[in-house]
A and B are shown apart, each in its own frame.
Chain A
Amino acid sequence: MKGSYIGQAWLAIVLASAFGAALAGVHAGLGPRIAANRLNDTLSQIPALVPGAAKGEPLEVAGRLVYRAVDAAGAPVGWVVPAGGQGFADRIELLIGLDRAADRITGLYILQQNETPGLGNRVAEDAFRNRFRDQAAGAPLRVVKGRAGGAGEIEAVTGATVSSDSVTAIVNGAAARFRRERPDAP
C-alpha cells in the first residue's frame, strides 16, 4: 500500500524537486538585483528629502538602520530615517528627512503603501507630503481636518483621515525615537 502511493506520486515529487531547484536558481540570480532596487528606491530619495544632500551613508542607531545625509564634500547636512507602521489597509513604509540637529522635518517620502486608490494613496502625493516640510520634530504633530494646518498641524487628505493619521503617527513615533537615540543627542 505504502509503496504504491509513492509510486503513483513520483511525478509530483520529481516536479516539486525540479521546480524548487529552478526557483532557488532564480532567487539566487535575481535576489541581488531586487535588493538593489529596494535600496535604490531609498537612496535615490535622499537628495530630495534633505536640502543640500548629495547622498546618504547608512548607519546603525540603536539597532535600526538610518542614513546620515551628506553633501558633495562629505559634510553631514541631515538625517534620513526609515520608519513604518500600520496604515488603513496594510503596512506603510516611509522615509523621514530631518535636519542636522533633528529639530525640523525636511521631507517625507512614502516607500510602500497599499492604501485605497484615489483616496488613501494620496498620502503619497506631493501635496500631502509637503505639509510635513519645515515642521518641528520636537513635539508630536496633530492632524486637523477641513482647514489648513498651522505650525505643528497637518491637514488630512480629504476622505482619507485614517491614512493621514497613520502616516502622522508613524512620523511622530520615529522622529521622537530618533531624537532620543541619535549619536549626537544632547
Chain B
Amino acid sequence: MSERKSDGPTAMERFIGGLLPENPVYRQILGICPTLAVTNTMEGALTMGLAAAFVLLCSNVLVSLIRPLLKPHLRILIFTLTIATFVTIADRVLAAFLYDMSKQLGPYIPLIIVNCIIIARCEICASKQSVGTAAADALGQSLGFTLGLMSIATVREILGFGTWFGRWLGWRVVPEVAPAYWSNWVIMILPPGAFLTLGLLLGVFNALTAKKGKAA
C-alpha cells in the first residue's frame, strides 16, 4: 500500500478529476450562467474557457502561496478580492488584444468574478494544498469547463447558425439551402435552446457514466 501524504488528492488526481469525474459543468453543475450565455458560438465558448482558465490558474496559485496567512472568517473575502483582480486583468487584456471578441462577450467576462467554479477550487483545493497541486487542479478544472462549454456550443452553433467556428474560420456545417429544406433553429441561439441543450447533454453524460459504473 503506497504511503499518501495527508495533503489530499495528488496533483495528477486533481487534474484528471477536473476533466470528467468532477467536470464542473456536467458533474458539479457550476458556472452555469456563462455556460448558458456564451455557448451560442464556438468562439465565445473557447474565449470564455481560456479567460476562466487564466483566472482560475492565477487565483489558485496565489491563494495556495498565501494559504498559511488565511484566516477562516476572512478567507472568502480574500478569494473574491484575488479573483476580481485577475478577472479585471483578463477583461482589459481582451479589450486590448481581441477587441471584437470582447464586444461579443460583453458583460460575461466581468461575470467570471462570480463564477462558482473558481471560488470553489480556491476553497476546496488551493487554500489547503501546495502550489503544484493547486495549479494541476486549476488546469484540470478549466480544461473540463472548456470541454463542457465547447460540447454545448457545438450543438447550439450547428443547429442555430449552421456553422462551426463560423466567425473565425467560416466553416459551414449545414450547407446553405432554401428555407423550404432547412431553416436555422433560432431557438438554439436563444436562452431556451441553452437550457434544452444543457439538459439533454447532461442526461447523455449521466447515462454514459452510469453504464460505465454498472459495467465496472
Measured CB to CB, the nearest residue on chain A to B98 is A37
Residues of chain B with a CB closer than 8 A to A38's CB: 99
B160 touches A26 (CB 8 A): no
Produce 1/0 per residue, B180-207, CB < 8 A to A.
0000101001100000000000000000
Residues of chain A with a CB closer than 8 A to B81's CB: 12, 15-16, 19
Choose among B69, B77, B95 the residue that contacts A30 (Cβ–Cβ < 8 A): B95
Total count of chain B residues near the partner, CB < 8 A: 27
Residues of chain A with a CB closer than 8 A to B47's CB: none
Residues of chain B with a CB closer than 8 A to A16's CB: 81
State in angstroms the CA–CA spacing of A80 and B57 once bound together. 44
A37 touches B71 (CB 8 A): no
Residues of chain A with a CB closer than 8 A to B189's CB: 117-118
**At the interface, yes or no: B214 with Cβ under 8 Å from chain A?**
no
A34 touches B66 (CB 8 A): no
Q: Is the interface of A mostly helix, strand, loop or mixed?
A: helix
Produce 1/0 per residue, A24-36, CB < 8 A to B.
0011001001100
Residues of chain A with a CB closer than 8 A to B5's CB: none
With a 10 A CB-CB cut-off, give which of B88, B96, B106, B189 has the most chain A CB atoms.
B96
**At the interface, yes or no: A6 with Cβ under 8 Å from chain B?**
no
A116 touches B88 (CB 8 A): no
Residues of chain B with a CB closer than 8 A to A22's CB: 85, 89
Choose among A27, A114, A116 the residue that contacts B190 (Cβ–Cβ < 8 A): A116
A15 touches B78 (CB 8 A): yes
Residues of chain A with a CB closer than 8 A to B97's CB: 33
State in angstroms the CA–CA spacing of A114 and B108 once bound together. 12
- Shortest CB distance A24–B (Å): 11
Residues of chain B with a CB closer than 8 A to A27's CB: 92
Choose among B77, B84, B99 the residue that contacts A41 (Cβ–Cβ < 8 A): B99
A11 touches B190 (CB 8 A): no
Do A114 and B74 contact each other (CB < 8 Å), given the known contacts A11-B69, A19-B85, A41-B99? no
Choose among A8, A15, A37, A117 the residue that contacts B82 (Cβ–Cβ < 8 A): A15
- Shortest CB distance B66–A (Å): 7
Do A11 and B71 contact each other (CB < 8 Å), given the known contacts A34-B95, A34-B96, A118-B189? yes
- Shortest CB distance B98–A (Å): 10
Produce 1/0 per residue, B64-80, CB < 8 A to A.
00100111001001100
New A-B pairs, 14, CB < 8 Å, besides A15-B66, A16-B81, A34-B92? A12-B74, A15-B78, A15-B81, A19-B81, A19-B82, A22-B85, A23-B89, A26-B93, A27-B92, A33-B97, A37-B96, A37-B99, A41-B99, A119-B186
In the assembled complex, 17 residue pairs joining A and B whose CB atoms fall closer than 8 Å, in A order, are A9-B74, A11-B70, A11-B78, A15-B78, A19-B82, A23-B85, A23-B89, A26-B89, A27-B92, A30-B95, A33-B96, A34-B95, A37-B96, A112-B103, A116-B190, A117-B189, A119-B186
